[in-house]
């Protein structure tokens, strides 16, 4: 079975789509924790299994936001959230960078 | 279909452009800061590995609840390897910063804004002095331990680096013993580097010697000396000559920014067994240094076969500088003995005259690397006396070169002395160790468990000679006429000044063995006529010294024995002697001032002169003084000095300010008018700022060296002022830092102390500023010699 056909099958079956999305989110977060380009890849994976291009882009961006949320929760758990808030420019780069990576990654959904 | 293809192409292109563009345009920033993966976030994991190999053998580090490492080892080398490991874990960035600052390589990582600093440090060539010192120390035991310490530090080069390295985007070089020597030079310079002589010479040239002596008195008129006996002989060398020298404006201001900051000082006192409740001596110390985030001090506890000490040191230095051992406790204050001189020369055709001959400057061109800018070349020149300082910006190069001789520019042995002190078991051994303290210039206060006490001034004091005769050094010397020579002094080499009679012999330095009680607060050590050598160009203002001596005298005279609480009450004492001297003069002027100013004076009328955070009077007085100095000094100085000079650089100090004769020329309209004007400005300022009490203004605001708000400590109100024992200077953020109180009777409980902030330099550590509130409120913690049970890191013998 070719990749396009597999993708089409994932997209068309609700259960498989949700499962694939969940796997993509977990893989994406893991990759993003290792390197910022992992967020791009994660967003692309999440977007690719969505039914339409529009939904794919939205899901990719959503993945980026989720990634930021997970990061903020991890900061809160180690008591570093206040320090992060005070970092101003560093925090903007930290959050803005991964969200932008997710946006660009989600555009991969447009290719097929 | 075409539409679909176009959309795919557009989105595909955007995806590709985004990936490539982010990598090329912001990849570096994202590598450092991206949420989740950025290298800056590595430091959120504060844990150290439970097991570390050490080439020197077994050791443990146990961090306590305040983040203080307690280190125990089987051998001395293993102990200091582990000490290096702990400092590297907690202070790696500050260590690297000090090294870069002193070697003139800050701009390489920070950029153009610090090029002037780098030029200064390159010209003075502290690095060559550090190398000479290391060469001299090789073979000494302290040198071996410094090598082990450096190896311990360097174990962190492969671990996640502190966030400051991510911010500046560089990696530290391996730590070396020479870097430790640079940290020692930095400490010494911050305690003794002063260009006051140049400012005084300038005022003498521009406004006359009388004005210079009025603004920069050789001695303050008070009786609160540290030593009060008259058995030390007669002073040699005239002290009333200035040698007017109008130093180029740009040079003076440039140099002023690199001298010891105003307010560097300290308090210490020792009480002999005759006067304590326990019958054993007690000592206390609180050095006044810049209050930074993280603090200048690093606290540690070391226990090995030959060394057992707890105390504070400076980032990069393995041995505690202030602390306590099984046998003794000691503290230091700046002594203000004179270890720096300036020489001017006649020059001709690029050469300087030295006696009967013209000599070429020893010249070398060095490069100051600059991050994101062009590297700069610096010409490093030397005469026979030392490095030449000149200012090369704005075409304002000094025509008449000024050379600097500083005791720290030669090879010194302080590191070995410090190690021997930590291991000393008697007063005799402690004094032998102190004889190796070549710099900085310190009042050393000591007590031991055998009931002995000691006051000793350490640090080399050159005996300056002109035509073979000793001379005082409160002037710019004529280097061409060989005036003010330092016999045996070799800059950047090994001096022979001990053998050549070039320095005051250790036994002749001011000291007192077994003083019953004695206090030091940087005031005059001894009256000049009572001492056989020229000792100091000037001492600190005596406000704290007067108060300390008064309170010690009162208590001893009362017959009530001194206990721990009395010692604490001295460190908490907020009485400001400036106010005690000047507020009565302000109140006496009340008939000649207007209503608005009178309202402020009313608040001062029943004030007890304590600089407490809830006091309105303390607020008024603290703000009045700077306005009063502006009113008194600025107009006349601005008129007399070159436009390029900043009059504020030449103001009289706080003692001069509050003791000026009311008939002085500084009061053309009379002192009451000056007081009224300053009170008006104070009232306007208080209204504008909305300050009600002293605590609204007097907040401790510890900044980080990188000036980033998120690295600073949260501002916190505190007590104390410039003139009080509980010392705090809000404008320069200098004040009482580490405080220790050490009873020598072990049954009297452990020693106690306060730490200014937190021991860990990682802003994401729980110990970054966990002790700040305790410091601000002068509340104490146990700093005894007990070891915690649970090791955090265990070192086992083996290579990395």
Reduce the DSSP state of residue A86 to 3 states and report it: helix
Q: In angstroms, what is the C-alpha Rg of chain B?
A: 28
Distance, CA of B28 to CA of B168 (rounded, Å): 12
Cβ atoms of residues B536 and B474 within 8 Å: no
Q: Which segments in chain B show pLDDT lower than 70?
A: 1, 193, 229-254, 257, 260-263, 391-399, 800
A86 inside 8 A of chain B by CB: yes
Which residues are CB-neighbours of B459 under 8 A, at least 6 positions away? B192, B335, B337, B339, B407, B437, B438, B439, B440, B441, B442
Residues of B in contact with A100 (CB under 8 A): 18, 22
Cβ atoms of residues B70 and B62 within 8 Å: yes
* Chain A from 10 to 69: CB within 8 A of any B CB: 29, 32-40, 44, 53, 67-68
CB nearest A104 (choices: B19, B31, B33): B19
A97 inside 8 A of chain B by CB: yes
Alpha helices in B208-269 (DSSP H): 209-215, 249-256
Residues of A in contact with B706 (CB under 8 A): none
The yes/no answer to whether this complex scores an ipTM above 0.90 is: yes
A94 to B7: CB separation less than 8 angstroms, yes or no: no
Using alpha carbons only, give the angle B10, B15, B18 rounded to the nearest 5 degrees.
120
Cβ atoms of residues B280 and B273 within 8 Å: yes
Q: Residue-wise over B493-522: b if at least 16 C-beta within 10 A, else e?
A: eebebeeeebbbebeebbbbeebebbbbbb
Give the residue with greater pLDDT, B799 vs A55: A55
CB nearest B37 (choices: A32, A79, A90): A32
Record the tokens describing residue B521, joined without a space.
């607060």
* C-alpha pair distances (Å), B381 with each of A59, B193, B283, B339: 66, 19, 45, 21
B710 inside 8 A of chain A by CB: yes
B37 to A67: CB separation less than 8 angstroms, yes or no: no
CB nearest A86 (choices: B18, B167, B709): B709
B50 inside 8 A of chain A by CB: no
Residues of A in contact with B8 (CB under 8 A): 110-112
In the block, which residue shows the tokens 């004179």?
B338
Which residues are CB-neighbours of B744 under 8 A, at least 6 positions away? B280, B281, B282, B283, B328, B329, B447, B448, B449, B451
> Among residues B458, B560, B456, which one has the least CA distance to residue B514?
B456
CB nearest A34 (choices: B10, B26, B37): B37
* C-alpha pair distances (Å), A42 with each of A24, A104, B35, B37, B426: 6, 11, 14, 14, 69
Record the tokens describing residue B751, joined without a space.
């020693």
Mutate to test the interface with B, among A79, A82, A83, A97 (most CBs of B within 10 A): A97
Cβ atoms of residues B34 and B27 within 8 Å: no
B30 to A32: CB separation less than 8 angstroms, yes or no: no
HEC profile for B669-697?
CCHHHHHHHHHHHHHHHHHHHCCCCHHHH
B764 to A80: CB separation less than 8 angstroms, yes or no: yes
Write out the H or E segment, with its range, that includes residue B703. none
| Strand B465-466 relative to strand B357-360, pairing | unpaired
A82 inside 8 A of chain B by CB: no
Neighbours of B563 (CB within 10 A): 17
Mean pLDDT computed over A54-58: 94
Residues of B in contact with A83 (CB under 8 A): 710, 763-764
Q: Where are the domains of chain A?
A: 3-110
pLDDT at A108: 92
Mutate to test the interface with A, among B13, B16, B28, B34 (most CBs of A within 10 A): B34
Distance, CA of B431 to CA of B429 (rounded, Å): 5
Alpha helices in B378-446 (DSSP H): 414-423, 427-434
Using alpha carbons only, give the angle B20, B22, B23 rounded to the nearest 5 degrees.
65
Partners of residue B519 on adjacent β-strands: B269
Q: What are phi and psi of B202, to 5 degrees?
A: -65, -45
- Minimum CA–CA partner of B27 in chain A: A36
Q: Which long-range contacts (CB under 8 A, 24 or more apart) does B628-631 make?
A: B628/B657, B628/B674, B628/B675, B628/B678, B629/B657, B630/B678, B630/B681, B631/B674, B631/B677, B631/B678, B631/B681
pLDDT at B7: 81
Neighbours of A72 (CB within 10 A): 18
DSSP-assigned states of every residue in A10-57: HHH-HHHHHHHHHHHHHHHHHHHHH-THHHHHHHHHHHHTSSSHHHHH
Cβ atoms of residues B429 and B409 within 8 Å: no
User: Looking at domain B577-700, does it have CATH number 1.10.1400.10?
Assistant: yes
Residues of A in contact with B38 (CB under 8 A): 36, 94
| Strand B59-63 relative to strand B69-73, pairing | antiparallel
B404 inside 8 A of chain A by CB: no
Residues of B in contact with A48 (CB under 8 A): none
- Rounded to a whole number, what is the distance in Å from the CA of B173 to chain A's nearest CA? 25
Length of chain B equals 800
- Minimum CA–CA partner of A72 in chain B: B35
* C-alpha pair distances (Å), B335 with each of B57, B221, B319, B434, B567: 40, 18, 21, 14, 22
Which residues are CB-neighbours of B157 under 8 A, at least 6 positions away? B171, B172, B174
Q: Where are the domains of chain B?
A: 2-34, 577-700
Q: Residue-wise over A17-49: b if at least 16 C-beta within 10 A, else e?
A: beebbeebbeebbebbbebbbbbbbbbbbbbbb
CB nearest A33 (choices: B22, B29, B37): B37
B710 to A103: CB separation less than 8 angstroms, yes or no: no
| End-to-end CA gap in chain A | 16
A111 to B12: CB separation less than 8 angstroms, yes or no: yes
A97 to B34: CB separation less than 8 angstroms, yes or no: yes
Using alpha carbons only, give the angle B275, B280, B281 rounded to the nearest 5 degrees.
70
Which residues are CB-neighbours of B427 under 8 A, at least 6 positions away? B446, B448, B450, B452, B454, B513
- Rounded to a whole number, what is the distance in Å from the CA of A50 to chain B's nearest CA? 15
Residues of A in contact with B34 (CB under 8 A): 36, 39, 93-94, 97-98, 101
A104 inside 8 A of chain B by CB: yes
Mean pLDDT of chain A: 92
Distance, CA of A74 to CA of A79 (rounded, Å): 9
- Rounded to a whole number, what is the distance in Å from the CA of B43 to chain A's nearest CA? 11
Which residues are CB-neighbours of A88 under 8 A, at least 6 positions away? B709, B710
């Amino acid at each position: 079975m070719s990749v396009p056909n597999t993708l089409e099958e994932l997209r068309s079956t609700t259960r498989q789509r949700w499962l694939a999305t969940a796997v993509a989110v977990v893989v994406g977060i893991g990759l993003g924790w290792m390197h910022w380009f992992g967020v791009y890849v994660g967003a692309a994976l999440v977007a690719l299994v969505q039914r339409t291009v529009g939904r794919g882009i939205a899901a990719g961006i959503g993945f980026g936001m989720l990634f930021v949320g997970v990061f903020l929760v991890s900061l809160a758990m180690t008591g570093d959230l206040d320090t992060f808030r005070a970092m101003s420019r560093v925090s903007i780069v930290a959050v803005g960078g991964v969200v932008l990576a997710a946006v660009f990654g989600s555009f991969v959904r447009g290719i097929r | 279909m075409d539409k679909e293809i176009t959309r795919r192409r557009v989105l595909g292109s955007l995806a590709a452009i985004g990936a490539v563009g982010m990598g090329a345009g912001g990849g570096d920033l994202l590598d450092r800061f991206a949420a989740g993966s950025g290298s800056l976030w590595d430091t959120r994991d504060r844990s150290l590995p439970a097991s570390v190999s050490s080439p020197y053998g077994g050791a443990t580090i146990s961090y306590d609840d305040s983040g203080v490492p307690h280190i125990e080892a089987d051998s001395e080398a293993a102990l200091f390897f582990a000490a290096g490991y702990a400092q590297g874990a907690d202070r790696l960035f500050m260590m690297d910063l000090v090294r870069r600052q002193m070697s003139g390589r800050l701009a390489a990582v920070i950029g153009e804004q610090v090029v002037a600093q780098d030029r200064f440090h390159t010209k003075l060539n502290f690095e060559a002095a550090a190398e000479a010192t290391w060469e001299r120390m090789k073979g000494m035991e302290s040198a071996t331990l410094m090598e082990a310490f450096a190896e311990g530090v360097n174990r962190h080069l492969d671990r996640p680096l502190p966030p400051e390295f991510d911010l500046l985007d560089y990696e530290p070089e391996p730590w070396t013993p020479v870097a430790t020597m640079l940290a020692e030079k930095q400490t010494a310079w911050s305690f003794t580097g002063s260009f006051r002589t140049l400012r005084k010479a300038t005022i003498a040239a521009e406004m006359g010697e009388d004005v210079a002596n009025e603004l920069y008195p050789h001695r303050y008129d008070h009786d609160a000396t540290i030593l009060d006996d008259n058995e030390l002989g007669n002073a040699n060398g005239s002290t009333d000559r200035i040698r007017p020298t109008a130093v180029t404006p740009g040079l003076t201001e440039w140099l002023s920014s690199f001298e010891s900051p105003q307010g560097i000082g300290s308090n210490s006192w020792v009480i002999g067994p005759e006067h304590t409740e326990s019958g054993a001596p007690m000592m206390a110390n609180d050095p006044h240094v810049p209050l930074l985030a993280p603090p200048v001090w690093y606290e540690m506890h070391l226990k090995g076969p030959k060394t057992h000490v707890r105390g504070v040191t400076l980032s990069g230095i393995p041995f505690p500088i202030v602390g306590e051992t099984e046998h003794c406790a000691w503290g230091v204050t700046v002594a203000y003995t004179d270890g720096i001189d300036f020489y001017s020369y006649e020059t001709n055709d690029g050469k300087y005259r030295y006696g009967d001959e013209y000599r070429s400057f020893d010249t070398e061109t060095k490069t100051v690397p600059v991050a994101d800018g062009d590297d700069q070349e610096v010409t490093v020149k030397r005469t026979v006396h030392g490095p030449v300082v000149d200012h090369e910006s704005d075409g304002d190069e000094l025509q008449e070169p000024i050379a600097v001789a500083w005791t720290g520019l030669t090879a010194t042995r302080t590191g070995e002395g410090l190690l021997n002190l930590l291991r000393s078991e008697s007063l005799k051994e402690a004094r032998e160790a102190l004889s190796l303290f070549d710099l900085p210039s310190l009042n050393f206060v000591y007590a031991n468990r055998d009931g002995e006490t000691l006051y000793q001034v350490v640090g080399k004091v050159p005996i300056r000679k002109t035509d073979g005769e000793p001379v005082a050094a409160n002037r710019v010397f004529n280097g061409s006429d060989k005036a003010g020579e330092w016999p045996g002094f070799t800059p950047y080499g090994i001096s022979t000044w001990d053998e050549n009679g070039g320095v005051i012999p250790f036994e002749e330095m001011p000291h007192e063995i077994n003083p019953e009680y004695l206090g030091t607060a940087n005031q005059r050590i001894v009256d000049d006529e009572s001492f056989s050598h020229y000792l100091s160009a000037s001492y600190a203002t005596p406000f704290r010294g007067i108060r300390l001596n008064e309170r010690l005298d009162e208590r001893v005279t009362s017959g009530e024995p001194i206990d721990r609480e009395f010692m604490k009450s001295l460190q908490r004492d907020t009485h400001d002697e400036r106010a005690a001297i000047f507020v009565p003069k302000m109140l006496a002027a009340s008939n000649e001032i207007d209503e608005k100013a009178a309202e402020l004076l009313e608040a001062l009328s029943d004030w007890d002169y304590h600089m407490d955070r809830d006091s309105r009077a303390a607020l008024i007085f603290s703000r009045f003084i700077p306005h009063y100095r502006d009113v008194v000094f600025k107009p006349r100085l601005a008129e007399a000095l070159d436009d390029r000079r900043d009059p504020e650089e030449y103001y009289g100090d706080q003692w001069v300010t509050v003791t000026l004769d009311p008939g002085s020329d500084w009061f053309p309209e009379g002192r009451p008018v000056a007081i009224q004007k300053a009170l008006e400005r104070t009232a306007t300022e208080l209204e504008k700022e909305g300050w009600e009490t002293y605590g609204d203004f007097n907040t401790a605001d510890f900044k980080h060296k990188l000036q980033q708000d998120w690295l600073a400590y949260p501002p916190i109100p505190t007590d104390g002022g410039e003139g009080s024992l509980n010392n705090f200077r809000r404008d320069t953020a200098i004040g009482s830092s580490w405080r220790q109180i050490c009873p020598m009777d072990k049954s009297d409980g452990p020693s106690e102390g306060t730490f200014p902030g937190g021991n860990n330099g990682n802003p994401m550590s729980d110990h970054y500023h966990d002790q700040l509130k305790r410091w601000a409120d002068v509340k104490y913690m146990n700093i005894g010699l007990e070891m915690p049970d649970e090791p955090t890191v265990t070192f086992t013998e083996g290579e990395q």
